Amino acid sequence: MTEGDYRKEIIFFAIPVFIGALFQQMYNTADSLIVGNYLGHDALAAVSSTGSLTFLLVGFFWGFSNGAGVIVARFIGARNEDRTFHAVHTAMGVGLVCGIAMTILGVIISPILLRIMQTPQSVYVEAKTYLTIYFAGSFFLVMYNMMVAILQAAGDSRHPLYYLVISSLTNIVLDIVFITVFRMGVEGAALATILSECLSMLLCLQRLLRAQDTYRVDLRKIHFDKRCVQQIIHQGLPTAFQSTVIDIGNILIQSYINSFGALAMAGIGAYTKIEGFCFLPVTSFSTAVTTFVSQNYGAGRRDRVRKGSFFSIACVVIMIEAIGVVMFLLAPQLVGAFSSDPSVIVYGVGRAHVCCLFYCLLGFSHISSAVLRGIDKPVTPTVIMMVCWCAVRVASVLTIGQIWHRVELSYWLYPVTWTLSSVLFIVILTKELRKKT
C-alpha cells in the first residue's frame, strides 16, 4: 500500500473489510432476532444486554491483535523480511496466551459482573448461561482476530471476508436449528456463535499456513521475540486499555439502563444491534487507514499518510452521517423487527432519535484514532477516549443520574461525549499531520 493511487488502495482494502464486518455483525444480531422472535423479550434482554460484557474482554484482547497488525504492517512497508517473520510468529504466540487468558477470565468474572450491573432476576439465569458458553469458546475468537490482523497487515482483506461469509451463514443456520428445532434456548444461540467462530479461525489458519509470502506461519516456529513483544505491547496495550476503560463505562451505563427493567434493556439492546451495522463503514475505514498509514509510515511516505488520512476522514464523515439520517427515519421499523412489544420499540426509537444525527462525530473520532495509532501515537487516542468516553460518562451517571433518574440521560451521554472527543482530535490530528517526515 506504499505505491499507486492512495484513494483506490484505501477503498479497495476497505470494501472487503466492510462486507466481512457486515457478516460478522450478523453473529449476535442473528442471535437477537431469532431469540427475540422465538423466545420472548426476557430472552432478548438476556442476550442483547450481555454485549457490553463481551465487548469488555473481547475489546481488551483485540487491542493486542491491533498492535500486532500495526507492527507487521510497518515491517512489511519497510521491506524487512526478517523482522516480519519474527513479528508474525510472535503475534501468533501472543494470540495463544491472550486466547487462554480470555477464556479463563470470561468464565470466572461474567457472573460477578452481571450482579454488579444489577441484572434483573428475570433475565439473570439466561444471561449467565449465554456468557458462560460464549466465553468458554472465546479462544477461537481471539486467535481469529490475531490471524486476521496479520493478513490485513499484509494488505489481504479479501480472504478474511470469504471466511466471515462462510462462518456467518453457518451461525445463522445453527441458530435456527438449535433454537427452533432442538429447543435449546439461549444455550443454542451461544453454541452456534462459538462453533461458527471456530470455523472462521480454522479457515484463517489454513490460509496463513499455505501463504507463500513473508507473513507465512509455521506452527513449529511460533516464539516470543523480545523486541516484537515490546512493540506489540507498546501499540496494543494502550488500545486494549482504552477499549477496556470505555467498556467499563458502558457497563455502568448498562447497569443504569437495567434499573428501568427488561423492556428498556430489550429496546435499547435491539437499537445497539442495529447501530452496530450503521458503524460498519467506520470500522472498515479504520482498519484500512491503520494499515495504510502503518505501511507508509514504515516506508517514510509521510505525504501519503497525510493524503490518505484526510481522504478517509472525509469519506467516513459523509457516509456515516447519511446512514444516521436513514436510521433516524426508519428506527421504528428496524427496532420492531426484534420485538413487536410497543414498549420495547419506544425505548429503542428514543435512543435512535437522540444519537443518529450525531454519527458524524463518532466516525471522525474513530478515524482520527486509527491515524494516530498508525503513526506510532497510540497513547494519545487512549487518553482522549478514556477521559471523554469513560470518565465523563461515568461521572454523569453517578451525579446527574442520581438526581435526574431518567432513561433519556443514557441516550444523551453518547452524542455529548462524541462532541468532546472530536474537538480534541481536531486539534491534535491537525498538529501531527502537519509535521514533516
What was the pLDDT predicted at 85?
94
pLDDT the model gives residue 193 = 86
pLDDT digits (tens, 9 = 90+) for 185-202: 888 888 988 999 999 999
Least confident of 114-118, 132-136, 290-294, 357-361: 114-118
Kindly state the average pLDDT of the residues 228-239: 86
d(CA 199, CA 140): 8
- The C-alpha torsion from 306 through 309 and 315 to 321, rounded to 10°, is -120
Cα–Cα distance, 370 to 240 (Å, whole number): 14
Contact 319, 343 (CB under 8 A): no
* Segment 3-55, tens digit of pLDDT: 788 888 888 888 887 887 777 676 666 667 787 777 776 777 777 667 667 77
pLDDT band at 327 (very low <50, low <70, confident <90, very high): very high
The model's pLDDT over 335-355, given as tens digits with 9 standing for 90+, comes to 888 777 888 889 989 999 999
pLDDT beyond 50 at 437: no
- For 120, list phi and psi in degrees, rounded to 5: -55, 145
Query: Mean pLDDT highest for which of 38-42, 95-99, 180-184, 287-291?
Result: 95-99
The stretch 152-157 carries a mean pLDDT of 84
Q: Is the pLDDT of residue 86 over 70?
A: yes
Stretch among 250-254, 325-329, 332-336 having the lowest mean pLDDT: 250-254
User: Residue 402: what pLDDT?
Assistant: 86
Residue 208 has pLDDT above 90, yes or no: yes
pLDDT (tens digit per residue) in 396-420:
988 998 888 888 898 999 999 999 9
Average pLDDT, the chain: 86
Residue bearing the bigger pLDDT, 62 or 315: 315
Distance CA 21, CA 14 (A): 10
| DSSP H helical ranges for 137-225 | 138-153, 158-176, 186-210
CB-based contact 288:327 (threshold 8 Å): no
Closest by CA position to 61, among listed 143, 133, 4: 143
Inter-residue contact 222 to 89 (CB < 8 Å): yes
Mind listing the pLDDT tens digit for each residue in 370-387? Answer: 889 888 888 888 889 889
Report yes or no: 244 and 59 within 8 Å, Cβ to Cβ.
yes
Q: Long-range pairs for 38-43 at CB < 8 Å and ≥24 separation?
A: 38/179, 38/180, 39/179, 39/185, 39/186, 41/262, 41/263, 41/266, 41/339, 41/341, 41/344, 42/122, 42/123, 42/126, 42/262, 42/266, 43/123, 43/126, 43/185, 43/186
- Segment (H or E) for 360: helix 359-374
- Range in 14-18, 98-102, 205-209, 210-214 with the lowest mean pLDDT: 14-18
Q: Where are the domains of the chain?
A: 6-433
Report pLDDT for 52. Answer: 65
Residue in the block written with cell 435456527: 176
The whole-model pTM stands at 0.73
Between CA 168 and CA 22 the distance in angstroms is 9
Please report the pLDDT score of residue 16 as a whole number. Answer: 81
* Spatial distance between the Cα atoms of 67 and 48, rounded to a whole number of angstroms: 29
Kindly tell me if the per-residue pLDDT of 257 is higher than 50.
Answer: yes
